[in-house]
Structure 1
Amino acid sequence: MCFQDPRRLFGRAIQWLLCASVLINMLLLMFVMFHQPDTGLSSLTGHLPINPEQMDKRDLHAIIQEKGPKPHIMTTDEIKRLKDLKDNKEWEEVQQVPTEKPIWSYNKTAADVFRRELDDICNTKEDFIVTKENFPLGSVIQYDAERHSRLNVTDDVWERFPQSSPFAHMKHSRCSVVGNSGLLKNSNCGKEIDAADFVFRCNMAPIDGHHIAEVGSKTNLITANPTIIRDKYKNFRNQTLKENFVKDLSVYGKSYIWMTPFAYKMCTSYTFKAQHVLKEFKSDNEIIFANPVFMGNMNKYWKKHGVKAWRASTGLFLVSAALSMCEEVHLYGFWPWHLDRLGNNLTQHYYDNHPVHKAHKLPDEFQQHQKLHNEGVLHMTTNRCA
């Protein structure tokens, strides 16, 4: 028998291993090249007859909204709309807004710390509204916006207050706070909003008809601007206007109507008239008065934390209250721009396009909401609901 030199056999084996290794690496490289998800412009435009070279880097940044194996495929109209927005200052601002953390979980520790911080500023559960306990007979109310104005708590005034706050011992597991942004239009968030134990709403926003699918209908507390008594209900100068007011509030079921009689002097008479009408008609709704101490303290707190406005919005006051009264707080419709993240036009509110008060700095408030969302203190929804 003939025996080959073992060293030659070992050398050939090494050569075969090296060749096999090179072949495997080439196959792996080809696999990665042909299977890697494309997050570039071609994956977004898909089969569209458009030359990607015609779009600049800002266009590319704007349309890459979804990451992962299934990116958003833009239509021709969407791409045209984004190119039309190229010099739109508000669109540039929206593009600078970071997205929220995609996976949110409630952080009880962080939420409890934040609640204690708010409670150090104001005992919200006790002082969210005016009561006979926090404003006894003979005391003086200082208006929170019109700081030079005062009101003596006489017998007639004091009798309008509840004995104590119905929120003093409130602790709900989950609350929804509904802003009125146009982002809610066709959002399909109604069921999710109504699933909460307690629902806060703003400014007598409509919840009837097709709006139910967008924002739900459950209401435990809703705010009303006192000037609506002057502007819409003409100071109740006839019986029909009174009936209209009671009917308009009845859609909210048995709920609290939170009004601000002690912001400005003129608001006092409007609010007192509204309270009288509801009692006259034995309405299920109950008007409660915002406590100017709560309002003033919350204004100071949020100014200190970056809301550079003369006055916080109604929505921010409700969010502050909800954080004290509820374990989990979920926000809907808090979006201060007229464009969404894809450049779609939005109305001011989901039900109309009337401008908001310039005293508010809603982008500043949004930034604070988003910060709390990322910390797990509250949850905010800025997309369509499932």
Structure 2
Amino acid sequence: MVSKTRWRQVGILMCASFSLYVVLSYQQTYTKTCKRLCNTLNECFKINQAVLIYNNDVDEKKMSFKQNQMPELSPFQYITEFLSGSFNKRDCLLNSYFSDIQLPTMQHTCAIVASGGILRGSNCGDEINRHDFVFRANLAPIQGYTADVGYKTNITMLNLESLARIYRNFTEKTSDSHVVEDMILNRIRFLNDSILWFGKSMQRQDAKIKLKKVIEVIRKKHNLPVRVAYSWKSISIERYWKLLHHATTGFNMYAVAAQICDNIALYGFYPYSELDDGSHIQHHYYGDLKHFFYRSHVHNMPLEFSKLQNDAMTKDNVRLITKPCK
């Protein structure tokens, strides 16, 4: 039999819980502070670099793209976590608070494919395809270049300029807009239902409106499958990496991949127009740009490259490929 003392303790606890609920009910929600977000496999990622992926069944019109948002708990949720001791834990299971988004899973080997001309003639395509997870940037063309850059794509990061260009080509009709739109759609087809990810502020230059419209055109008008992702916080890594200029898209991908991937191989990173022997390298593997400045008031690509070189030399899990793969 349960002793009277035990029943008295249970009664006190119930009364205290009810009283606490009544008091707390006057406040509608309680904000939980998270340092890391965790997926269903209990893999956790720093919140300021977390990539949030919308579930496939979420319509683009319902995508809020809320950034810097901590979980808001109801009084009942707060009491439950308070009594269990989990409210003050800084690792937060994402799906416990946000049902329409998910996190990526950890990957053993990752390839980050930039667009540098160093990839042209590299025959790195097969090696890139063998990686578990492949990052690409700004819908750089794949068709016609697969021998050098592969075809496998798991996530494609868009910067603001690329997003604006795609939006403009989808919404503003000109004499050649159908040609440009077809070119973009051909590149999107190579995504093969992978993730299209915008990693910067959703408030800047109407990025949220533009991204939702681009997704609508891709999904509804052209019936192409594509998953959508955004960053919990606009990626800002310059201070941590001691960069004096804005980080490039490629470098931003590397910073995020560092917490997702056990091993990273970098392709297409080479911020120079000449090799050591003096032979010319075109700016992109798919075309050249005359008079391009790798060091400007916007980016300092040689500085970024030197940091990647240092990581490749000092870390066993980072490779920087600047030579042909075959």
Query: TM-score, normalization: structure 2?
Result: 0.63
Deviations 1:332-362 (A, max 9, x none): 1111111112211111111122347841111
Deviation at 1:372, TM superposition (A): 0.7
Choose from 49, 52, 59 the match for 1:129: 52
Size of the aligned set, in residue pairs, is 235
Query: Would you say the 8 A contact 2:109–2:133 is kept in 1?
Result: yes
Deviations 1:193-230 (A, max 9, x none): 11100000111111112x11111111111123212224
Partner residue of 2:190?
Answer: 251
Counterparts in 2 of 1:138 and 1:226: CA distance versus 1, 3 Å = closer
Partner residue of 1:195?
Answer: 130
Partner residue of 2:322?
Answer: 382
Deviation at 1:164, TM superposition (A): 2.4
Choose from 139, 146, 155 the match for 1:212: 146
Deviation at 1:268, TM superposition (A): 3.0
Counterparts in 2 of 1:138 and 1:187: CA distance versus 1, 3 Å = closer
Deviation at 1:140, TM superposition (A): 7.0
Highest Rg: 1 or 2?
1
Partner residue of 2:165?
Answer: 228
CA distance in 2, matches of 1:362, 1:337: 9
Deviations 1:354-377 (A, max 9, x none): 347841111111111111101124
Partner residue of 2:219?
Answer: 279
Counterparts in 2 of 1:237 and 1:141: CA distance versus 1, 3 Å = farther
CA distance in 2, matches of 1:269, 1:228: 14
Partner residue of 2:22?
Answer: none
CA distance in 2, matches of 1:317, 1:129: 15
Establish whether residue 288 from structure 1 lines up as the match of residue 229 from structure 2.
yes
Counterparts in 2 of 1:139 and 1:375: CA distance versus 1, 3 Å = closer
Query: Would you say the 8 A contact 1:131–1:162 is kept in 2?
Result: no
Q: Secondary structure at the match of 2:151?
A: coil
Establish whether residue 268 from structure 1 lines up as the match of residue 198 from structure 2.
no
Establish whether residue 360 from structure 1 lines up as the match of residue 299 from structure 2.
yes
Deviation at 1:384, TM superposition (A): 1.2
Establish whether residue 166 from structure 1 lines up as the match of residue 166 from structure 2.
no
Counterparts in 2 of 1:196 and 1:205: CA distance versus 1, 3 Å = same
Partner residue of 2:121?
Answer: 186
Compare the two structures and name the one with the higher helix fraction. 1
State how 1:65-80 maps to structure 2 within 5 Å: none
Deviation at 1:246, TM superposition (A): 3.6
CA distance in 2, matches of 1:138, 1:263: 11
CA distance in 1, matches of 2:44, 2:102: 18
CA distance in 2, matches of 1:194, 1:138: 33
CA distance in 2, matches of 1:237, 1:295: 32
CA distance in 2, matches of 1:276, 1:295: 25
Query: Would you say the 8 A contact 2:119–2:148 is kept in 1?
Result: yes
Query: Would you say the 8 A contact 2:65–2:208 is kept in 1?
Result: no
**Amino acid across the alignment from 1:229:** I
CA distance in 2, matches of 1:229, 1:174: 30
CA distance in 1, matches of 2:54, 2:196: 15
Deviation at 1:190, TM superposition (A): 0.7
Deviations 1:135-194 (A, max 9, x none): xx999758xxxxxxxxxxxxxxxxxx9822331xx1111110011111111011111111
Structure 2 spans left out of the alignment, 5+ residues:
1-42, 56-62, 69-97
Partner residue of 1:177?
Answer: 112
Query: Would you say the 8 A contact 1:308–1:364 is kept in 2?
Result: no
Q: CA RMSD in A?
A: 3.2
Choose from 349, 364, 370 the match for 2:309: 370
CA distance in 2, matches of 1:138, 1:266: 13
**Amino acid across the alignment from 1:123:** I
Counterparts in 2 of 1:131 and 1:124: CA distance versus 1, 3 Å = farther
Query: Would you say the 8 A contact 1:202–1:222 is kept in 2?
Result: yes
Counterparts in 2 of 1:279 and 1:261: CA distance versus 1, 3 Å = farther
**Amino acid across the alignment from 1:288:** A
